[in-house]
């Protein structure tokens, strides 16, 4: 007898399977979800000998294609990063399950008891590029919040993501959950991404992560509701009262610790009365680690090693060891610059003036606003979420780092004893 060839499922069939899996996940206990998460965490390290060679294939192709160093850093996995992913998944397992949580409620005069509770979205779609860690992060958060997830991870990480999804599905099967709760549509290429954006009725919410171009495409072309995760043109403002040691350390950490990510510093603003005191030590520390300073004329007058900044520098997310620097007259001018150029991701003020700190916190309209802290702390893991779905720069339905509650909707439960409306 000839061997029967089974056709690969179509994209529509995959989406239908995701909806069926979502109905199952909505009824799964916290214990079952946590068991699956522990299985995922163990499988990530156990399969390092599969994941890392696949990732190296993607990195080799990225180098051949001239991918920037910053994007290669996002693409790269090593054993240390796999250990971090394992820890993130275990932390997600340890968090309180949001499903069923009562948000508010009351007893009406007629005896009806009404309660608003958290429920899963259902099917979450994710479109991202060159970020295989997102495959694990979003899958784990979706699972804990009772959602099925459909992933489009892009061609740059194709080999890595294929292995990761196989590992994730194996852990689901191992713990008695449907493998279709975590699916990839990478095999359908860009057409698959476009179809996912149009899959209203199959996908409940879509989350893009990547370049400004990718995010704008998803926002403008999608028929599915989108939670926008924005680019990070991130600012630090050094007030005239800023402590030199604190300023040097925070600016260095914000820019250099990992320059390829969205919470890395891109523009430094300095009060004119502190510029001669602060710019040399701050910029010297950066240049020792290879940072190119793009300075305005007042910056270059104090620090001649800076290259001239152009208008484009103020609106550039470098994702590299480059930094735009501008001297401003006062806090008003700093706030105006941030208002004009910020992508509303993260901004930080370094100051010892409480009144100015409070004004900065009140007037800067960004998802995360800081005082005397590195912008690198804008991160779901650092905020105690285990991982993050992304960092939302919009105002509906979520803002800032998104964890478990941001992957839920609500419904109203009404319990009565025969009441009718008069």
What per-residue confidence (pLDDT) applies to 231? 81
Domains observed in the chain: 11-227+402-415 (3.40.605.10), 234-377 (3.40.309.10)
What per-residue confidence (pLDDT) applies to 254? 98
Mention every residue, 6+ apart, whose C-beta is less than 8 A from residue 143. Answer: 25, 33, 36, 37, 40, 149, 177, 181, 182
Report the C-alpha gap between 27 and 298 in whole angstroms: 62
pTM, two decimals, is 0.89
Collapsing DSSP to helix, strand or coil, 76 comes out as: coil
3-state DSSP percent of the chain in helix, strand and coil, to 5: 45, 20, 35
Radius of gyration of the chain (CA): 24
Report the C-alpha gap between 395 and 407 in whole angstroms: 15
Mention every residue, 6+ apart, whose C-beta is less than 8 A from residue 300. Answer: 306, 308
Could you list the pLDDT tens digit for every one of the 422 residues in the chain?
555 556 789 999 999 999 999 999 999 999 999 999 999 999 999 999 999 999 999 999 999 999 998 889 999 999 999 999 999 999 999 999 999 999 999 999 999 999 999 999 999 999 999 999 999 999 999 999 999 999 999 999 999 999 999 999 999 999 999 999 999 999 999 999 999 999 999 999 999 988 888 999 999 999 999 998 878 999 999 999 999 999 999 999 999 999 989 999 999 999 999 999 999 999 999 999 999 999 999 999 999 999 999 999 999 999 999 999 999 999 999 999 999 999 999 999 999 999 999 999 999 999 999 999 999 999 999 999 988 988 999 888 899 999 999 999 999 999 999 999 98
Length of the chain: 422
What per-residue confidence (pLDDT) applies to 2? 57
The structure tokens listed for 381 are: 């893991």
How crowded is the C-beta side of 96, counted as CA atoms within 13 Å? Answer: 6
Report the C-alpha gap between 363 and 371 in whole angstroms: 13
């Amino acid at each position: 007898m000839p061997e029967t060839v089974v056709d690969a499922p179509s994209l529509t069939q995959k989406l239908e399977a995701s909806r069926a899996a979502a109905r199952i996940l909505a009824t799964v206990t916290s214990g079952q979800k946590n068991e699956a998460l522990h299985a995922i965490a163990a499988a990530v390290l156990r399969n390092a000998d599969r994941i890392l060679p696949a990732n190296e294939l993607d990195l080799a192709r990225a180098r051949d294609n001239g991918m920037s160093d910053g994007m290669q850093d996002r693409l790269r996995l090593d054993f240390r990063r796999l250990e971090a992913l394992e820890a993130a998944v275990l932390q997600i397992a340890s968090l309180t399950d949001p499903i069923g949580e009562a948000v508010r409620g009351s007893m009406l005069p007629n005896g009806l008891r009404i309660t608003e509770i958290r429920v899963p979205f259902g099917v979450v779609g994710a479109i991202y590029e060159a970020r295989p860690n997102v495959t694990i992060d979003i899958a784990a958060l979706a699972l804990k919040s009772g959602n099925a997830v459909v992933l489009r991870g892009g061609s740059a990480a194709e080999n890595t993501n294929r292995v990761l999804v196989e590992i994730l599905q194996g852990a689901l099967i191992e713990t008695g959950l449907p493998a279709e709760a975590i699916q990839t549509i990478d095999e359908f290429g860009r057409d698959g991404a476009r179809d996912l954006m149009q899959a209203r009725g199959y996908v409940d919410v879509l989350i893009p992560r990547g370049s400004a171009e990718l995010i704008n495409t998803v926002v403008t072309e999608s028929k599915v509701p989108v939670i926008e995760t924005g680019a990070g043109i991130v600012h630090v403002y050094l007030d005239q009262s800023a402590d030199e040691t604190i300023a040097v350390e925070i600016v260095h950490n914000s820019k250099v610790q990992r320059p390829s990510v969205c919470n890395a510093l891109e523009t430094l603003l300095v009060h004119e009365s502190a510029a001669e005191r602060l710019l040399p030590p701050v910029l010297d520390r950066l240049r020792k680690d290879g940072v190119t300073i793009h300075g305005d004329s007042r910056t270059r007058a104090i620090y001649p090693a800076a290259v001239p900044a152009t208008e484009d520098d103020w609106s550039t997310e470098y994702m590299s060891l480059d930094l735009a620097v501008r001297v401003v007259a006062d806090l008003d001018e700093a706030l105006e610059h941030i208002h004009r150029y910020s992508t509303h991701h993260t901004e930080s003020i370094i100051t010892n003036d409480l009144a100015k700190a409070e004004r900065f916190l009140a007037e800067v309209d960004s998802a995360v606003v800081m005082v005397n802290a590195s912008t690198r702390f804008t991160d779901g893991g650092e905020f105690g979420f285990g991982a993050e779905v992304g960092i939302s720069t919009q105002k509906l339905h979520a803002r800032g780092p998104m964890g478990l509650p941001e992957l839920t909707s609500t419904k109203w439960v009404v319990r009565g004893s025969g009441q009718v409306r008069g």
